[in-house]
Structure 1
């Protein structure tokens, strides 16, 4: 049974949506998992995968393989997420399931230490497992959001979580960059070491550092965020958990069409987040294909992290002034410009400029998408609905990388795929324009009141 939230505090923390200890503990998981997203997904691992794990292979082959294994991991998570979400709601086990997949992600990430030259198969398997662990954990993490934040706090807490993620991921990435470029400061062998193991040690240690960081800073969530109590599921209580889970899953699939505006939001998110995810996942290996300096590319990721901190807060404020939907639309316009510039990119300066633009819109756009969807669904079915949200999010990580892989293998270059990403933002934006936010929020709260589903709602 969920505990009553602690009374909110006043001042700066309240303005950030961090008024209660459980809200601060929830947001810390963004700080924790962003180390994985920055170092493994975006910055260090793609370069290591291309230069070391795929040693001796053409750069476009490594790009195509990374896109293919990214697609595989996302498909697996997409198929699992609705069932896991429904099971978590039926059994009130969001946190234990989050912990299970967190452990998988930590183990696979730490095991990347053992990847050496030519080990592209091992690297691919560990990358898929780590992606499954991380992305499945996000299903349960996101589904806790409407239970720790009130309607008035939800946009602020979501954007603050992303801002904390930028800070946490940026700090660790800066440390990683320091011992990669200046290994002598840390007593580590450099690129001129006598053995391959010595030359790659400083990079392989970054993978271990991610697992440690991710694990330690996940602890507050398990200590302070209460497990939401069961609600609205009395008729399933006497059933076997597996049968009840499948029944609730079928019911929620039907409910998606009842909550028309939440459903439209899902479709819009499916399209435009495909573009966002493609840029996040393929930018570094695209730069590697263009022969840009690896240190410059990692520096660009740091720019994204630290520009993203104030800009995530800015988007939270913009949501209060312009509305959530218009703020997301603004982000999609900027992403369209990013793709147009990226298509003609030739220098490291261009890459750094693009990194700054991505930092302006990335966190805010995704955070507001998460909080907008959370406001359009019943709280008592948050795990199930966020299971479907995760399906959409993972499929949004499938089509773009798959397009990259196809164009890579067909043409030997990724440049054409960059321009093609614009279509995702245009179509997604048009669907988002059809979402009536106030009506969707009214329908979701009415369902909660009708079905006694206010369990876990903040006071």
Structure 2
């Protein structure tokens, strides 16, 4: 029977760390990076690329070590603190500090991305296979609500800086970065108190655990061929993750470049968050009824439409409408992908396989921002750069069509 207390604590972590996703990755920091730190949407995309590479290198080995030592929660706590302190550290970024901003953002994204490797792995520990679509969707929906609420507070802070006695918008933005760190730590605490690591007989040294983790990772590479449906799903997921991640991290900087005012950009992202909250819950129920694969395919078609419409976007109203469309499918597509993957991996190797997925998806995830940056560099057109992202959603649709989820779940029950 599923433990409701553990599920609620697990879900609340999404509420906690989504503050980073909204304020740092999607809304305030991309605008601050361009307007204050004096970066460009191209340099912002390359910052995302650097972070993706670091997460890709760390996640699989640490995931394997977490399974060997039984310390998924401990690793999650460490990387949550890294992400939270990096968020607060962005308050020290001032005018023209593009390089400092890039370094701290990379550190924060490493905390966020690597931490999510262990967070996703804990889904198997707190929820039965029959409940994972709903529980995963609850997590993402609470993330939208929590991240949206703090973003709303930060938007009020930034817009009302003068009335509350702050010297300028820069100071208000810097305070908002600090609120992310505090929010992340405070609302992560229930998970760390409620969900405990499974005791492991492994009492080896750090060097011994690194060696064991590396050996386990090597076994993952050699054994994954025994799970062909999982391999096919991962291939589809790489493109899906890359496309969605590029939309998340590039939307605000793209809007800034084509002339959308910063207040309109943040307001539009708030629309995404508050539509995303109920839409993700509904998406999870629909996935439970119609099947995760069908709903995931539907979301990818919607993303294609969003990218094409984004190419022609010219006003704040257009950005609002597209933000609403993103809110309908973004959380649901991510939650459903997470639930599908959780059912297709062998038990007892959850952090390892989530680390492997994180490694491979992050390894390929620099492709989206990199393609955006290169197309922008070659064509000198942010619109053409955005349109190029459609390739990732098309590829995801094609590869997902060949995945047999039922067969994949049977393969996961095989003894390694």
**TM-score bin, normalised by smaller chain:** over 0.9
What's the offset of the Cα at 1:229?
4.8
Match of 2:289? 321
For 2:414, what is the secondary structure of its paired residue? helix
For 2:128, what is the secondary structure of its paired residue? coil
Structure 2 distance, partners of 1:156, 1:48, is 36
Match of 1:353? 321
Structure 1 distance, partners of 2:17, 2:164, is 25
Structure 2 distance, partners of 1:366, 1:355, is 16
What's the offset of the Cα at 1:79?
1.1
Superposition pairs of residues 378-389 of structure 1, within 5 angstroms: 378-389=346-357
What's the offset of the Cα at 1:263?
1.1
Structure with higher Rg: it is 1
CA deviation map 1:267-302 (0-9, x unaligned): 100012211111111010000001111101000000
Match of 2:29? 45
Match of 2:274? 306
Query: 390, 397, 402: which is aligned to 2:358?
Result: 390
What's the offset of the Cα at 1:396?
4.2
For 1:340, what is the secondary structure of its paired residue? helix
Match of 1:211? 181
TM-score by length of 1: 0.87
Structure 2 distance, partners of 1:358, 1:352, is 10
Contact 2:74 2:197 (C-alpha < 8 Å) held by counterparts: no
CA deviation map 1:384-405 (0-9, x unaligned): 1000111133134310100111
Contact 1:23 1:225 (C-alpha < 8 Å) held by counterparts: no
Give aligned pairs, total.
Answer: 415
Contact 1:312 1:361 (C-alpha < 8 Å) held by counterparts: yes
Query: 245, 267, 270: which is aligned to 2:213?
Result: 245
- 1:85 is aligned to 2:53: no
TM-score by length of 2: 0.96
Structure 2 distance, partners of 1:383, 1:140, is 6
Contact 2:48 2:369 (C-alpha < 8 Å) held by counterparts: yes
Task: Structure 2 unaligned segments of length 5 or more: list them.
Answer: none
Deviates further, 254-263 or 387-396? 387-396
Superposition pairs of residues 437-448 of structure 1, within 5 angstroms: 437-447=405-415
Query: 122, 129, 153: which is aligned to 2:100?
Result: 122
- 1:406 is aligned to 2:354: no
Structure 2 distance, partners of 1:143, 1:446, is 19
Contact 1:277 1:396 (C-alpha < 8 Å) held by counterparts: no
Match of 1:225? 195
CA deviation map 1:239-268 (0-9, x unaligned): 932221111111111222111111111110
- 1:297 is aligned to 2:275: no
